[in-house]
Amino acid sequence: MFNLEEELKKLPAKPGVYLMHDASDEIIYVGKAISLKNRVRQYFQKSRNVTPKIQRMIDRIAWFEYIVTDSELEALVLECNLIKEHSPRYNTMLKDGKSYPFLKATIQEAYPRLLFARQMKRDGNKYFGPFTSGKAIRDTIELANRLFHLRSCRRVLPRDAGKERPCLYHQIGQCPAPCQGNVEQEEYRANFEKALKFLQGDTKSVIGELTEKMQQAAEEMRFEEAALYRDQIQSIRAVTERQKITAEDQEDRDIVAMARGGDEAVVQVFFIRGGKLIGREHYYLTGVEDEENAAVLSAFIKQMYAGTPYIPREIWTEEEVEDAAAIREWLSEKRGRKVYFRIPRRGEKERLLELAKRNAFMVLTKDAEKLKEERARTIGAMEEIQGLLGLSGLSRVESYDISNINGFETVGSMVVFEGGKAKKNDYRKFRIRTVTGPDDYAAMEEMLTRRFEHSRREGLTELDSFRHLPDIIFMDGGKGQVNVAEKVLLKLDLTIPVCGMVKDDRHRTRGLYFHDEEIPIDTHGQGFRLITRIQDETHRFAIEYHKQIRSKRQVHSILDDIPTIGETRRKALMRAFDSLEEIRAADFEKLRSVPGMNERSARAVIDFFEEREKSVTYGSEKEGKSD
């Protein structure tokens, strides 16, 4: 049992990170401290004034843990990593980078490429980003490939060199065809290094190198080569001259400005490289309500630069950043050189910051209605359901359904919604083991028992969806299904509200069954629409799983009937082909190429399906005649 007073006495006066947990063991807040003893104790002092958001967080704390570090810098880095891993609901969060892709430079390859990447990985390659526009990344890759004659194919070189003809890009003079050995690795990588400099905004040195080579080629009367260098120089200048914002000092800096509205904020970042504006991005933050601007900027900068490969010399902000000294030290260590925070107060610098701020407000204003609608259909819908049921604090919803055909291959599905949004990573499938025949209640009881018993296992990680208990359970049915769920919860000594989604004669939701009574729903409200989405998603997930099981069983049973096809060859065929139809349509050579198949087994598959086709055709003709 966690004794708060005793645990507070044990806190060390050392730097570290603390993690606040709620009653279901969910990590709801991660923070860092120069002195854990002083910082954590402050949350539980009655005399301390806190914001409503922090008070809501404190009310949910069931226990806390902490990790001691050697310095404030180590605590800051650990805090960044833990926030990214756990996404605590009371931390200010930069919306996840699924929407913000990267440009990946495959420097580990012998002949490297520039690729579009959905996420940054620790694979030894170099990443640029994140960016909000996938189109911008693809356009940049196309431009860099054209300017610096880089390959875009998927061939593994030098392993695949000479195996196939060069592609169209070689024919039009854009790729030097390293796949044919037409270019030395050193020469190709030199061009690739120029492309990397170009992507980092260093166009001046790239143009200088190309100019030298152009002049040398012209002096040696290699005029076609000199013309290629000239065209590259003109293309780079055409790209860089499009942007008008410049700075005389030619420094690398990011200009960070913010606009806020309610619990949302938009941060606009201008990327200045070599004194030129090479791009801009805007980022959404959630959980900013009741937070000071300095704290929001601090949270953004830590999360933004934790996942960005390039850090500039200067970061301009509108005001002082919370924990500025520790963040500056951390960024300087990552960059390998000093990083400075600046707050422009006058002249051209202030104008640039104001321009970024205006852009942030424009994005926030433009998306305000969209954000409002999104909130209404998610969080607003959950609040509407809470009002109907007389409950509070509902976020995680789990919904269950059973699918079978006359008791054949009974399966169950668990669908999860959090904050009114589907959380597909937490969906789970169940194959019912102990129930035979069409007994949905018994199948549901088995599934729920397995689900909630699993949550009590030791060693579950934060990523295991079974670790988190729901705030409410939605059953796809009325009184009977609710009774089954409540029976399981009572047996396992769990207290979770259970609600049935009652359907009318047309199989449409008409109300909610809760506490032994049916509660009508406004069919035009967002709560009703959310319940319908949950119900439809639960059905879809269960039915798709059942179809998948039936399909596999069908394929297994048919392939088992083919002479010479045992378990090993059957698995090889199923790995090589996506469906039974593809196996049926495959020719002799394609079947023969499957690992483990020989001429005899390939011929047996073809003969089997030909005989089967004849049998089906003959049977159909007889049936037609009898009609």
Is residue 83 within 8 A of residue 91, CB to CB? The reply is yes
Residue-level pLDDT at 144:
84
* Weakest mean pLDDT among 38-47, 90-99, 500-509: 90-99
The pairing of strands 340-342 and 314-316 is parallel
Q: Which residue has the higher pLDDT, 100 or 610?
A: 610
Please state, in angstroms and rounded to a whole number, the distance separating the CA atoms of residues 377 and 184. 58
Residue-level pLDDT at 557:
61
Q: Which residue has the higher pLDDT, 194 or 546?
A: 194
Residue-level pLDDT at 143:
76
Confidence band, pLDDT 50/70/90 cuts, at residue 463: low
Q: Which residue has the higher pLDDT, 8 or 207?
A: 8
Residue-level pLDDT at 286:
84
Please state, in angstroms and rounded to a whole number, the distance separating the CA atoms of residues 187 and 361. 47
Cis previous bond, 158, omega within 30 = yes
Q: Which residue has the higher pLDDT, 599 or 128?
A: 599
> Minimal CA–CA distance to 249: which of 275, 272, 278, 270?
275
pTM value > 0.75: no
AA identity, residue 3:
N
Please state, in angstroms and rounded to a whole number, the distance separating the CA atoms of residues 116 and 82. 27
Euclidean distance between the first and the last CA atom of the chain, given in angstroms as a whole number: 77
Q: Tens digits of per-residue pLDDT, 313-340?
A: 999 999 999 999 999 999 999 888 999 9
Q: Strand, helix or coil at 231? A: helix
* pLDDT of 394 higher than 50: yes
β-strand partners of 474: 399, 499
* pLDDT of 497 higher than 90: yes
Is residue 42 within 8 A of residue 80, CB to CB? The reply is no
Please tell me which of 106-110, 403-407, 511-515 the model is most confident about, judged by mean pLDDT: 106-110
Note the residue count of the chain.
Answer: 627
* pLDDT of 151 higher than 90: yes
| Range 452-474 average pLDDT | 79
Residue-level pLDDT at 23:
87
> Minimal CA–CA distance to 549: which of 394, 405, 420, 392?
405
Phi-psi region of 467 (alpha: psi -120 to 50; beta: other; left: phi over 0): alpha
Q: Which residue has the higher pLDDT, 478 or 235?
A: 478
Residue-level pLDDT at 624:
37
Confidence band, pLDDT 50/70/90 cuts, at residue 250: low
Radius of gyration for the chain, computed over Cα atoms and rounded to the nearest angstrom: 31
Residue-level pLDDT at 619:
41
**Eight-class DSSP state of 76:** H
Confidence band, pLDDT 50/70/90 cuts, at residue 405: low
Q: Angle between the 440-454 and 479-491 helix axes, to the nearest 10 degrees?
A: 40
Is residue 501 within 8 A of residue 521, CB to CB? The reply is no
Please tell me which of 27-36, 423-432, 557-566, 610-619 the model is most confident about, judged by mean pLDDT: 27-36
| Range 453-465 average pLDDT | 72
Percent of the chain surpassing pLDDT 90: 28
* pLDDT of 246 higher than 80: no
383-422 as b/e, with b when 16 or more CB fall inside 10 Å?
bbbbebbeeeebebbbbbbbbbeeeebbbbbbbbbbbbeb
* pLDDT of 239 higher than 60: no
Residue-level pLDDT at 618:
44
Please state, in angstroms and rounded to a whole number, the distance separating the CA atoms of residues 243 and 241. 5
Q: Tens digits of per-residue pLDDT, 355-371?
A: 888 888 888 877 667 76
Please state, in angstroms and rounded to a whole number, the distance separating the CA atoms of residues 194 and 199. 9
| Range 439-448 average pLDDT | 90
| Torsion angle, alpha carbons of 116, 120, 121, 124, to 10 | 70
Please state, in angstroms and rounded to a whole number, the distance separating the CA atoms of residues 246 and 70. 42
* Tally of CB atoms within 10 A around 514: 19
Residue with tokens 């378990």: 567
Count CA atoms within 13 Å of residue 585 on its CB side.
6
Residue with tokens 């004194």: 275
User: How high does pLDDT run on average in the chain?
Assistant: 83
Q: Strand, helix or coil at 123? A: coil
Please state, in angstroms and rounded to a whole number, the distance separating the CA atoms of residues 132 and 49. 38
Please state, in angstroms and rounded to a whole number, the distance separating the CA atoms of residues 464 and 459. 10
Per the structure block, which two tokens stand in for 347?
């002249």
| Torsion angle, alpha carbons of 593, 595, 601, 607, to 10 | -50
Count CA atoms within 13 Å of residue 54 on its CB side.
14
* pLDDT of 97 higher than 90: no
> Minimal CA–CA distance to 280: which of 131, 470, 135?
131
Q: Tens digits of per-residue pLDDT, 136-150?
A: 678 778 878 888 889
Please state, in angstroms and rounded to a whole number, the distance separating the CA atoms of residues 30 and 82. 7
* pLDDT of 603 higher than 70: yes
Please state, in angstroms and rounded to a whole number, the distance separating the CA atoms of residues 191 and 195. 6
> φ and ψ at 509, to 5 degrees?
-65, 130
The pairing of strands 314-316 and 253-261 is parallel
Q: Tens digits of per-residue pLDDT, 179-197?
A: 988 889 999 999 899 888 8
Residue-level pLDDT at 554:
57
Q: Where would I find the beta strands (DSSP E) of 390-427?
A: 396-405, 408-418, 421-422
Per the structure block, which two tokens stand in for 373?
């609608």
Residue-level pLDDT at 625:
36
Dump the DSSP string for 333-369: HHHSS--EEE---SHHHHHHHHHHHHHHHHHHHHHHH
Residue with tokens 């269950």: 400
CA–CA distance from 479 to each of 94, 123, 432, 499, 599 (Å)?
A: 42, 53, 22, 9, 60
Q: Angle between the 347-377 and 526-559 helix axes, to the nearest 10 degrees?
A: 80
